[in-house]
Structure 1
Amino acid sequence: MRFNGHGVWAIYRFEMARSLRTLWQSLVTPVITTSLYFVVFGGAIGSRMTEVDGVPYGAFIVPGLIMLSLFTQSIFNASFGIYFPKFTGTIYEILSAPVSSLEIVLAYVGAAATKSAVLGLIILATAALFVPLHILHPFWMLAFLILISTTFALFGFIIGVWAQNFEQLQLVPMLIVTPLTFLGGAFYSIEMLPEGWRTVALFNPVVYLISGFRWAFYGVGDVSVQASLLATLGFFFACLAAVGWIFKTGYRLKN
Protein backbone atom coordinates (compact mmCIF):
# COMPACT_ATOMS: atom_id res chain seq x y z
CA MET A 1 0.00 0.00 0.00
CA ARG A 2 1.31 3.45 -0.91
CA PHE A 3 1.83 6.00 1.84
CA ASN A 4 -1.39 8.01 2.17
CA GLY A 5 -0.02 11.47 2.84
CA HIS A 6 -3.40 13.11 2.28
CA GLY A 7 -5.02 10.91 4.95
CA VAL A 8 -2.26 11.62 7.46
CA TRP A 9 -2.43 15.35 6.78
CA ALA A 10 -6.24 15.39 7.12
CA ILE A 11 -6.16 13.76 10.58
CA TYR A 12 -3.15 15.84 11.64
CA ARG A 13 -4.80 19.09 10.53
CA PHE A 14 -8.05 18.20 12.30
CA GLU A 15 -6.21 17.54 15.57
CA MET A 16 -4.24 20.77 15.30
CA ALA A 17 -7.43 22.71 14.54
CA ARG A 18 -9.04 21.28 17.67
CA SER A 19 -6.26 22.82 19.75
CA LEU A 20 -6.82 26.20 18.15
CA ARG A 21 -10.47 26.01 19.18
CA THR A 22 -9.33 25.49 22.79
CA LEU A 23 -6.42 27.91 22.70
CA TRP A 24 -6.99 29.11 26.26
CA GLN A 25 -6.76 25.61 27.69
CA SER A 26 -3.98 24.51 25.33
CA LEU A 27 -1.55 27.40 25.72
CA VAL A 28 -2.60 30.21 28.04
CA THR A 29 -3.40 28.06 31.09
CA PRO A 30 -0.01 26.25 31.14
CA VAL A 31 1.79 29.59 30.75
CA ILE A 32 -0.10 31.04 33.73
CA THR A 33 0.64 27.88 35.72
CA THR A 34 4.34 28.18 34.88
CA SER A 35 4.37 31.79 36.04
CA LEU A 36 2.80 30.73 39.34
CA TYR A 37 5.46 28.05 39.79
CA PHE A 38 8.13 30.71 39.42
CA VAL A 39 6.41 32.96 41.94
CA VAL A 40 6.09 30.13 44.49
CA PHE A 41 9.19 28.03 43.89
CA GLY A 42 11.50 30.65 42.44
CA GLY A 43 10.52 33.33 44.91
CA ALA A 44 9.81 31.48 48.14
CA ILE A 45 12.30 28.60 47.86
CA GLY A 46 14.81 30.36 45.62
CA SER A 47 15.38 33.04 48.24
CA ARG A 48 16.58 30.31 50.65
CA MET A 49 18.28 27.99 48.13
CA THR A 50 20.41 30.17 45.89
CA GLU A 51 22.13 27.49 43.77
CA VAL A 52 21.88 23.79 42.92
CA ASP A 53 24.90 22.16 41.24
CA GLY A 54 26.27 25.63 40.54
CA VAL A 55 23.07 26.75 38.76
CA PRO A 56 20.80 29.51 40.20
CA TYR A 57 17.72 27.81 41.61
CA GLY A 58 15.29 29.79 39.46
CA ALA A 59 17.09 28.62 36.31
CA PHE A 60 17.59 25.10 37.70
CA ILE A 61 13.84 24.38 37.85
CA VAL A 62 13.16 25.49 34.25
CA PRO A 63 13.83 22.06 32.63
CA GLY A 64 11.69 20.38 35.28
CA LEU A 65 8.83 22.81 34.69
CA ILE A 66 8.97 22.19 30.94
CA MET A 67 9.04 18.42 31.45
CA LEU A 68 6.09 18.56 33.86
CA SER A 69 3.95 20.28 31.23
CA LEU A 70 5.39 18.16 28.42
CA PHE A 71 4.49 14.87 30.10
CA THR A 72 0.92 15.82 30.97
CA GLN A 73 0.09 17.67 27.75
CA SER A 74 1.54 14.97 25.47
CA ILE A 75 -0.50 12.31 27.24
CA PHE A 76 -3.67 14.40 27.33
CA ASN A 77 -3.55 15.51 23.69
CA ALA A 78 -2.86 12.02 22.32
CA SER A 79 -5.22 10.15 24.64
CA PHE A 80 -8.16 12.49 24.05
CA GLY A 81 -7.41 12.60 20.31
CA ILE A 82 -7.90 8.84 19.87
CA TYR A 83 -10.49 8.38 22.65
CA PHE A 84 -12.96 10.89 21.22
CA PRO A 85 -13.44 8.96 17.93
CA LYS A 86 -13.99 5.83 20.03
CA PHE A 87 -16.55 7.68 22.15
CA THR A 88 -18.47 9.02 19.13
CA GLY A 89 -18.09 5.86 17.04
CA THR A 90 -16.22 7.56 14.20
CA ILE A 91 -13.20 5.34 14.89
CA TYR A 92 -14.75 2.73 12.60
CA GLU A 93 -14.76 5.20 9.73
CA ILE A 94 -11.06 5.87 10.34
CA LEU A 95 -10.24 2.15 10.51
CA SER A 96 -12.16 1.44 7.31
CA ALA A 97 -10.58 4.36 5.42
CA PRO A 98 -7.57 3.74 3.14
CA VAL A 99 -5.21 4.73 5.95
CA SER A 100 -2.83 2.20 7.49
CA SER A 101 -2.29 1.77 11.23
CA LEU A 102 1.14 3.41 10.88
CA GLU A 103 -0.42 6.43 9.19
CA ILE A 104 -3.09 6.72 11.91
CA VAL A 105 -0.40 6.69 14.60
CA LEU A 106 1.73 9.19 12.68
CA ALA A 107 -1.18 11.60 12.44
CA TYR A 108 -2.47 11.42 16.02
CA VAL A 109 0.91 11.10 17.74
CA GLY A 110 2.49 13.66 15.42
CA ALA A 111 -0.19 16.23 16.20
CA ALA A 112 0.03 15.61 19.96
CA ALA A 113 3.84 15.79 19.91
CA THR A 114 3.78 18.99 17.85
CA LYS A 115 1.41 20.69 20.28
CA SER A 116 3.48 19.59 23.29
CA ALA A 117 6.79 20.65 21.75
CA VAL A 118 5.39 24.09 20.86
CA LEU A 119 4.03 24.39 24.39
CA GLY A 120 7.46 23.49 25.77
CA LEU A 121 9.08 26.24 23.72
CA ILE A 122 6.44 28.74 24.86
CA ILE A 123 7.09 27.81 28.50
CA LEU A 124 10.82 28.21 27.83
CA ALA A 125 10.19 31.71 26.47
CA THR A 126 8.00 32.50 29.50
CA ALA A 127 10.73 31.28 31.85
CA ALA A 128 13.23 33.58 30.14
CA LEU A 129 11.14 36.51 31.40
CA PHE A 130 11.81 35.46 35.01
CA VAL A 131 15.38 34.13 34.97
CA PRO A 132 18.42 34.45 32.66
CA LEU A 133 18.77 31.25 30.62
CA HIS A 134 21.74 29.80 28.79
CA ILE A 135 21.30 26.57 26.83
CA LEU A 136 24.65 24.81 26.68
CA HIS A 137 23.61 22.16 24.14
CA PRO A 138 20.72 23.55 22.04
CA PHE A 139 20.74 20.61 19.61
CA TRP A 140 20.34 18.07 22.40
CA MET A 141 17.74 20.26 24.10
CA LEU A 142 15.59 20.14 20.96
CA ALA A 143 16.35 16.44 20.46
CA PHE A 144 15.22 15.55 23.99
CA LEU A 145 12.20 17.87 23.66
CA ILE A 146 10.99 16.19 20.45
CA LEU A 147 11.85 12.65 21.54
CA ILE A 148 10.14 12.96 24.93
CA SER A 149 7.10 14.68 23.37
CA THR A 150 6.76 11.86 20.85
CA THR A 151 7.32 9.14 23.45
CA PHE A 152 4.68 10.44 25.84
CA ALA A 153 2.30 11.09 22.95
CA LEU A 154 2.66 7.39 22.09
CA PHE A 155 2.04 6.59 25.75
CA GLY A 156 -1.04 8.83 25.69
CA PHE A 157 -2.27 7.09 22.53
CA ILE A 158 -2.09 3.78 24.41
CA ILE A 159 -4.03 5.26 27.34
CA GLY A 160 -6.67 6.65 24.97
CA VAL A 161 -7.19 3.21 23.43
CA TRP A 162 -7.26 1.52 26.85
CA ALA A 163 -9.62 4.02 28.53
CA GLN A 164 -13.32 3.22 28.54
CA ASN A 165 -14.49 6.51 30.07
CA PHE A 166 -13.25 10.05 30.65
CA GLU A 167 -12.26 9.27 34.25
CA GLN A 168 -9.79 6.63 33.08
CA LEU A 169 -8.18 9.18 30.75
CA GLN A 170 -7.10 11.16 33.82
CA LEU A 171 -6.17 8.15 35.95
CA VAL A 172 -2.61 7.48 34.74
CA PRO A 173 -1.49 11.14 34.33
CA MET A 174 -2.85 12.24 37.71
CA LEU A 175 -2.03 9.21 39.86
CA ILE A 176 1.20 7.99 38.25
CA VAL A 177 2.94 10.45 35.90
CA THR A 178 2.54 13.66 37.94
CA PRO A 179 3.70 12.12 41.27
CA LEU A 180 6.67 10.46 39.52
CA THR A 181 7.57 13.84 38.01
CA PHE A 182 7.55 15.61 41.37
CA LEU A 183 9.59 12.76 42.87
CA GLY A 184 11.89 12.65 39.84
CA GLY A 185 13.96 15.74 40.54
CA ALA A 186 11.87 18.30 38.68
CA PHE A 187 12.49 20.93 41.39
CA TYR A 188 15.57 19.54 43.10
CA SER A 189 18.59 17.32 42.53
CA ILE A 190 18.29 13.77 43.82
CA GLU A 191 21.84 14.26 45.15
CA MET A 192 20.17 16.33 47.89
CA LEU A 193 18.31 13.24 49.13
CA PRO A 194 19.60 10.85 51.80
CA GLU A 195 21.61 7.98 50.33
CA GLY A 196 18.82 5.41 50.74
CA TRP A 197 16.19 7.58 49.06
CA ARG A 198 18.69 8.49 46.35
CA THR A 199 18.97 4.81 45.46
CA VAL A 200 15.18 4.46 45.41
CA ALA A 201 14.89 7.54 43.16
CA LEU A 202 17.10 5.89 40.54
CA PHE A 203 14.29 3.39 39.93
CA ASN A 204 12.03 6.27 38.88
CA PRO A 205 12.23 6.44 35.05
CA VAL A 206 11.28 10.12 35.06
CA VAL A 207 14.59 10.93 36.79
CA TYR A 208 16.46 9.92 33.63
CA LEU A 209 14.26 12.01 31.34
CA ILE A 210 14.49 15.18 33.42
CA SER A 211 18.22 14.68 34.04
CA GLY A 212 18.99 14.40 30.32
CA PHE A 213 16.94 17.47 29.51
CA ARG A 214 18.60 19.46 32.31
CA TRP A 215 22.04 18.35 31.08
CA ALA A 216 21.22 19.91 27.68
CA PHE A 217 20.75 23.24 29.47
CA TYR A 218 23.54 23.34 32.04
CA GLY A 219 25.80 20.33 31.45
CA VAL A 220 24.81 18.83 34.83
CA GLY A 221 22.47 15.98 35.66
CA ASP A 222 21.64 13.41 38.30
CA VAL A 223 22.66 10.58 35.94
CA SER A 224 24.85 10.43 32.84
CA VAL A 225 23.40 11.76 29.60
CA GLN A 226 24.02 8.34 28.01
CA ALA A 227 21.80 6.68 30.63
CA SER A 228 19.14 9.36 30.06
CA LEU A 229 19.19 8.84 26.30
CA LEU A 230 19.03 5.05 26.62
CA ALA A 231 16.13 5.27 29.09
CA THR A 232 14.20 7.64 26.80
CA LEU A 233 14.79 5.47 23.73
CA GLY A 234 13.86 2.35 25.70
CA PHE A 235 10.52 3.88 26.74
CA PHE A 236 9.95 5.07 23.17
CA PHE A 237 10.43 1.61 21.64
CA ALA A 238 8.36 -0.02 24.40
CA CYS A 239 5.46 2.31 23.59
CA LEU A 240 5.96 1.70 19.87
CA ALA A 241 5.78 -2.07 20.44
CA ALA A 242 2.61 -1.67 22.53
CA VAL A 243 0.94 0.41 19.80
CA GLY A 244 1.92 -2.19 17.21
CA TRP A 245 0.33 -4.91 19.35
CA ILE A 246 -2.85 -2.85 19.71
CA PHE A 247 -3.35 -2.60 15.95
CA LYS A 248 -2.34 -6.21 15.38
CA THR A 249 -4.92 -7.52 17.85
CA GLY A 250 -7.52 -4.75 17.50
CA TYR A 251 -7.51 -4.31 21.29
CA ARG A 252 -10.43 -2.00 22.22
CA LEU A 253 -10.48 -0.61 18.70
CA LYS A 254 -12.39 -3.25 16.77
CA ASN A 255 -14.42 -4.68 19.61
Structure 2
Amino acid sequence: MNWRSIKAIYVFEMTRTFRTILQSIVSPVLSTILYFVVFGAAIGGRIESVEGVSYGAFIVPGLIMLTLLQQSVTNASFGIYFPKFIGTIYELLSAPVNFIEIVIGYVGAAATKSIMIALIILATSTFFVDLRIEHPVWMVAFLLLTGISFALLGFIIGIWAKNFEQLQLVPLLIITPLVFLGGSFYSVSMLPEGWRTVTLFNPVLYLISGFRWSFYGVSDVPIAVSLAAVALFMSACLGVIWWIFRSGWRLRP
Protein backbone atom coordinates (compact mmCIF):
# COMPACT_ATOMS: atom_id res chain seq x y z
CA MET A 1 0.00 0.00 0.00
CA ASN A 2 1.50 3.32 -1.14
CA TRP A 3 0.57 5.57 1.77
CA ARG A 4 2.43 8.52 0.27
CA SER A 5 0.13 8.61 -2.76
CA ILE A 6 -2.94 8.28 -0.53
CA LYS A 7 -1.70 11.17 1.61
CA ALA A 8 -1.00 13.32 -1.48
CA ILE A 9 -4.55 12.86 -2.83
CA TYR A 10 -6.11 13.30 0.60
CA VAL A 11 -4.17 16.46 1.46
CA PHE A 12 -4.87 17.98 -1.97
CA GLU A 13 -8.62 17.44 -1.58
CA MET A 14 -8.68 18.77 1.97
CA THR A 15 -6.65 21.82 0.98
CA ARG A 16 -9.15 22.59 -1.78
CA THR A 17 -11.90 22.53 0.84
CA PHE A 18 -10.23 25.06 3.10
CA ARG A 19 -9.52 27.35 0.15
CA THR A 20 -13.27 27.60 -0.40
CA ILE A 21 -14.37 27.34 3.23
CA LEU A 22 -17.45 29.57 2.78
CA GLN A 23 -18.85 27.35 0.04
CA SER A 24 -17.63 24.03 1.43
CA ILE A 25 -18.42 24.36 5.15
CA VAL A 26 -20.22 27.57 6.11
CA SER A 27 -22.93 27.38 3.41
CA PRO A 28 -24.23 23.86 4.20
CA VAL A 29 -24.16 24.58 7.94
CA LEU A 30 -26.23 27.76 7.50
CA SER A 31 -28.66 25.96 5.18
CA THR A 32 -29.21 23.23 7.75
CA ILE A 33 -29.73 25.76 10.54
CA LEU A 34 -32.37 27.41 8.33
CA TYR A 35 -34.11 24.05 7.91
CA PHE A 36 -34.00 23.60 11.67
CA VAL A 37 -35.43 27.03 12.43
CA VAL A 38 -38.21 26.78 9.84
CA PHE A 39 -39.31 23.23 10.62
CA GLY A 40 -38.80 23.65 14.36
CA ALA A 41 -40.84 26.86 14.48
CA ALA A 42 -43.54 25.98 11.94
CA ILE A 43 -44.17 22.36 12.86
CA GLY A 44 -42.67 22.12 16.33
CA GLY A 45 -45.32 24.47 17.68
CA ARG A 46 -48.02 22.00 16.64
CA ILE A 47 -46.24 18.75 17.52
CA GLU A 48 -45.03 18.67 21.10
CA SER A 49 -43.22 15.33 20.94
CA VAL A 50 -42.63 12.28 18.75
CA GLU A 51 -42.15 8.93 20.52
CA GLY A 52 -41.39 10.74 23.75
CA VAL A 53 -38.82 13.12 22.18
CA SER A 54 -39.48 16.83 21.62
CA TYR A 55 -39.99 17.55 17.95
CA GLY A 56 -37.06 19.98 17.76
CA ALA A 57 -34.69 17.34 19.11
CA PHE A 58 -36.34 14.59 17.05
CA ILE A 59 -35.46 16.20 13.70
CA VAL A 60 -31.79 16.85 14.56
CA PRO A 61 -30.57 13.38 13.45
CA GLY A 62 -32.57 13.73 10.23
CA LEU A 63 -31.04 17.13 9.47
CA ILE A 64 -27.55 15.84 10.17
CA MET A 65 -28.16 12.84 7.93
CA LEU A 66 -29.55 15.08 5.17
CA THR A 67 -26.36 17.15 5.15
CA LEU A 68 -24.09 14.12 5.54
CA LEU A 69 -25.57 12.34 2.53
CA GLN A 70 -25.61 15.41 0.29
CA GLN A 71 -22.07 16.50 1.17
CA SER A 72 -20.58 13.00 0.92
CA VAL A 73 -21.98 12.51 -2.57
CA THR A 74 -21.19 16.03 -3.77
CA ASN A 75 -17.62 16.19 -2.45
CA ALA A 76 -16.63 12.77 -3.77
CA SER A 77 -18.27 13.22 -7.17
CA PHE A 78 -16.66 16.61 -7.79
CA GLY A 79 -13.31 15.40 -6.47
CA ILE A 80 -12.95 12.68 -9.10
CA TYR A 81 -14.87 14.46 -11.88
CA PHE A 82 -12.65 17.55 -11.93
CA PRO A 83 -9.48 15.58 -12.90
CA LYS A 84 -11.56 14.00 -15.68
CA PHE A 85 -12.75 17.43 -16.80
CA ILE A 86 -9.27 18.96 -17.06
CA GLY A 87 -7.60 15.75 -18.29
CA THR A 88 -5.25 15.07 -15.36
CA ILE A 89 -7.04 11.79 -14.61
CA TYR A 90 -4.81 10.10 -17.23
CA GLU A 91 -1.68 11.15 -15.36
CA LEU A 92 -3.14 9.64 -12.21
CA LEU A 93 -4.06 6.39 -13.97
CA SER A 94 -0.61 6.07 -15.56
CA ALA A 95 1.19 6.70 -12.25
CA PRO A 96 2.33 3.75 -10.10
CA VAL A 97 -0.79 4.09 -7.94
CA ASN A 98 -3.24 1.27 -7.27
CA PHE A 99 -6.94 1.98 -7.79
CA ILE A 100 -7.50 1.14 -4.11
CA GLU A 101 -5.16 3.97 -3.14
CA ILE A 102 -6.99 6.37 -5.45
CA VAL A 103 -10.35 5.43 -3.92
CA ILE A 104 -9.05 5.69 -0.35
CA GLY A 105 -7.61 9.15 -1.04
CA TYR A 106 -10.68 10.68 -2.70
CA VAL A 107 -13.34 8.87 -0.67
CA GLY A 108 -11.46 9.43 2.59
CA ALA A 109 -11.24 13.18 1.97
CA ALA A 110 -14.92 13.43 0.96
CA ALA A 111 -16.05 11.45 4.00
CA THR A 112 -13.84 13.54 6.30
CA LYS A 113 -15.32 16.80 5.01
CA SER A 114 -18.93 15.61 5.26
CA ILE A 115 -18.47 14.16 8.76
CA MET A 116 -16.76 17.36 9.87
CA ILE A 117 -19.76 19.40 8.69
CA ALA A 118 -22.15 16.94 10.37
CA LEU A 119 -20.32 17.35 13.70
CA ILE A 120 -20.46 21.15 13.37
CA ILE A 121 -24.22 20.94 12.82
CA LEU A 122 -24.53 18.60 15.81
CA ALA A 123 -22.67 21.08 18.01
CA THR A 124 -24.73 24.00 16.65
CA SER A 125 -28.04 22.23 17.33
CA THR A 126 -27.27 22.15 21.06
CA PHE A 127 -27.91 25.91 21.09
CA PHE A 128 -31.50 25.33 19.95
CA VAL A 129 -32.61 22.11 21.70
CA ASP A 130 -31.60 19.81 24.52
CA LEU A 131 -29.92 16.77 23.00
CA ARG A 132 -29.01 13.46 24.51
CA ILE A 133 -26.90 10.76 22.92
CA GLU A 134 -27.63 7.40 24.49
CA HIS A 135 -25.23 5.41 22.28
CA PRO A 136 -22.29 7.68 21.33
CA VAL A 137 -20.17 4.84 19.96
CA TRP A 138 -22.95 3.77 17.60
CA MET A 139 -23.55 7.39 16.63
CA VAL A 140 -19.92 7.70 15.51
CA ALA A 141 -20.15 4.32 13.78
CA PHE A 142 -23.23 5.38 11.79
CA LEU A 143 -21.56 8.67 10.87
CA LEU A 144 -18.48 6.89 9.57
CA LEU A 145 -20.32 4.11 7.75
CA THR A 146 -22.83 6.46 6.13
CA GLY A 147 -20.24 9.07 5.20
CA ILE A 148 -17.94 6.48 3.59
CA SER A 149 -20.79 4.65 1.84
CA PHE A 150 -22.22 7.73 0.19
CA ALA A 151 -18.77 9.05 -0.64
CA LEU A 152 -18.28 5.79 -2.55
CA LEU A 153 -21.58 6.48 -4.32
CA GLY A 154 -20.40 10.01 -5.12
CA PHE A 155 -17.15 8.60 -6.52
CA ILE A 156 -19.19 6.41 -8.89
CA ILE A 157 -21.34 9.39 -9.92
CA GLY A 158 -18.23 11.48 -10.60
CA ILE A 159 -16.90 8.83 -12.97
CA TRP A 160 -20.30 8.35 -14.62
CA ALA A 161 -21.01 12.06 -15.18
CA LYS A 162 -20.16 13.59 -18.53
CA ASN A 163 -20.90 17.20 -17.52
CA PHE A 164 -21.63 19.33 -14.47
CA GLU A 165 -25.39 18.98 -14.97
CA GLN A 166 -25.20 15.20 -14.56
CA LEU A 167 -22.94 15.72 -11.56
CA GLN A 168 -25.78 17.48 -9.70
CA LEU A 169 -28.56 15.23 -10.98
CA VAL A 170 -28.42 12.46 -8.36
CA PRO A 171 -27.91 14.64 -5.24
CA LEU A 172 -30.74 17.03 -6.17
CA LEU A 173 -33.32 14.74 -7.76
CA ILE A 174 -32.72 11.46 -5.91
CA ILE A 175 -30.80 11.84 -2.62
CA THR A 176 -32.68 14.89 -1.28
CA PRO A 177 -36.21 13.54 -1.99
CA LEU A 178 -35.29 10.15 -0.47
CA VAL A 179 -34.07 11.87 2.71
CA PHE A 180 -37.22 13.99 3.01
CA LEU A 181 -39.39 10.90 2.46
CA GLY A 182 -37.23 8.71 4.71
CA GLY A 183 -38.46 9.89 8.09
CA SER A 184 -36.03 12.74 8.60
CA PHE A 185 -38.80 15.07 9.86
CA TYR A 186 -41.36 12.54 11.08
CA SER A 187 -41.75 9.02 12.42
CA VAL A 188 -42.95 6.31 10.07
CA SER A 189 -45.48 5.30 12.74
CA MET A 190 -47.28 8.60 12.08
CA LEU A 191 -48.12 7.54 8.50
CA PRO A 192 -51.17 5.58 7.32
CA GLU A 193 -50.60 1.86 6.86
CA GLY A 194 -50.27 2.04 3.07
CA TRP A 195 -47.71 4.85 3.05
CA ARG A 196 -45.85 3.18 5.91
CA THR A 197 -45.35 0.09 3.75
CA VAL A 198 -44.17 2.20 0.80
CA THR A 199 -41.71 4.07 3.01
CA LEU A 200 -40.07 0.80 4.06
CA PHE A 201 -38.76 0.49 0.48
CA ASN A 202 -36.81 3.73 0.91
CA PRO A 203 -33.19 2.73 1.70
CA VAL A 204 -32.45 6.07 3.38
CA LEU A 205 -35.07 5.27 6.04
CA TYR A 206 -32.79 2.62 7.53
CA LEU A 207 -29.88 5.05 7.80
CA ILE A 208 -31.92 7.78 9.49
CA SER A 209 -33.68 5.31 11.78
CA GLY A 210 -30.42 3.77 12.96
CA PHE A 211 -28.80 7.15 13.46
CA ARG A 212 -31.80 8.42 15.46
CA TRP A 213 -31.68 5.28 17.59
CA SER A 214 -28.12 6.14 18.60
CA PHE A 215 -29.48 9.42 20.01
CA TYR A 216 -32.74 8.52 21.71
CA GLY A 217 -33.02 4.74 21.64
CA VAL A 218 -36.08 4.87 19.36
CA SER A 219 -36.21 3.70 15.75
CA ASP A 220 -38.68 2.89 13.00
CA VAL A 221 -36.88 -0.33 12.03
CA PRO A 222 -34.69 -2.76 14.02
CA ILE A 223 -31.12 -1.56 14.49
CA ALA A 224 -29.73 -4.81 13.06
CA VAL A 225 -31.65 -4.18 9.82
CA SER A 226 -30.21 -0.65 9.63
CA LEU A 227 -26.65 -1.94 10.01
CA ALA A 228 -27.26 -4.66 7.42
CA ALA A 229 -28.63 -2.06 4.97
CA VAL A 230 -25.52 0.12 5.37
CA ALA A 231 -23.19 -2.87 4.95
CA LEU A 232 -25.06 -4.06 1.85
CA PHE A 233 -25.01 -0.60 0.26
CA MET A 234 -21.28 -0.18 0.94
CA SER A 235 -20.51 -3.62 -0.51
CA ALA A 236 -22.49 -2.82 -3.65
CA CYS A 237 -20.62 0.47 -4.16
CA LEU A 238 -17.24 -1.23 -3.66
CA GLY A 239 -18.22 -3.88 -6.20
CA VAL A 240 -19.18 -1.26 -8.79
CA ILE A 241 -15.94 0.68 -8.26
CA TRP A 242 -13.90 -2.50 -8.64
CA TRP A 243 -15.67 -3.20 -11.95
CA ILE A 244 -15.13 0.39 -13.17
CA PHE A 245 -11.37 0.27 -12.69
CA ARG A 246 -11.10 -3.23 -14.07
CA SER A 247 -13.05 -2.40 -17.24
CA GLY A 248 -11.91 1.24 -17.57
CA TRP A 249 -15.52 2.38 -18.03
CA ARG A 250 -15.70 6.18 -18.42
CA LEU A 251 -12.02 6.40 -17.44
CA ARG A 252 -10.24 5.57 -20.69
CA PRO A 253 -11.17 6.77 -24.17
TM-score range, shorter chain: over 0.9
AA of the residue aligned to 1:228: S
Tell me the residue number matched to 1:91.
Answer: 89
Cα drift, residue 44 of structure 1: 1.4
Cα drift, residue 34 of structure 1: 1.8
Q: Give 5+ residue unaligned stretches, structure 1.
A: none
Residue 63 of structure 1 pairs with residue 65 of structure 2: no
Q: 1:37 aligns with which of 35, 38, 41?
A: 35
Tell me the residue number matched to 1:13.
Answer: 11
Cα drift, residue 254 of structure 1: 1.3
AA of the residue aligned to 1:41: F
Cα drift, residue 215 of structure 1: 0.3
Cα drift, residue 204 of structure 1: 0.4
Cα drift, residue 130 of structure 1: 0.5
AA of the residue aligned to 1:47: G
Q: 1:179 aligns with which of 177, 180, 199?
A: 177
Q: 2:226 aligns with which of 213, 225, 228?
A: 228
Residue 160 of structure 1 pairs with residue 148 of structure 2: no
Separation (CA, whole Å) in 2 of partners of 1:173 and 1:33: 15
Separation (CA, whole Å) in 1 of partners of 2:234 and 2:105: 17
Separation (CA, whole Å) in 2 of partners of 1:179 and 1:10: 35
Separation (CA, whole Å) in 1 of partners of 2:231 and 2:45: 37
Q: 1:145 aligns with which of 143, 146, 150?
A: 143
Aligned residues: 253
RMSD: 0.6
Tell me the residue number matched to 1:78.
Answer: 76
Q: Moved runs in structure 1, 4+ residues, more than 4 A?
A: none
Q: 1:242 aligns with which of 226, 240, 243?
A: 240
Residue 200 of structure 1 pairs with residue 208 of structure 2: no
Confirm or deny: 8 A CA contact 1:4 1:98 kept in the other structure: no
Separation (CA, whole Å) in 1 of partners of 2:37 and 2:237: 36
Cα drift, residue 37 of structure 1: 1.4
Cα drift, residue 36 of structure 1: 1.1
Q: 1:218 aligns with which of 207, 216, 219?
A: 216
Percent identity for Structure 1 against Structure 2: 66
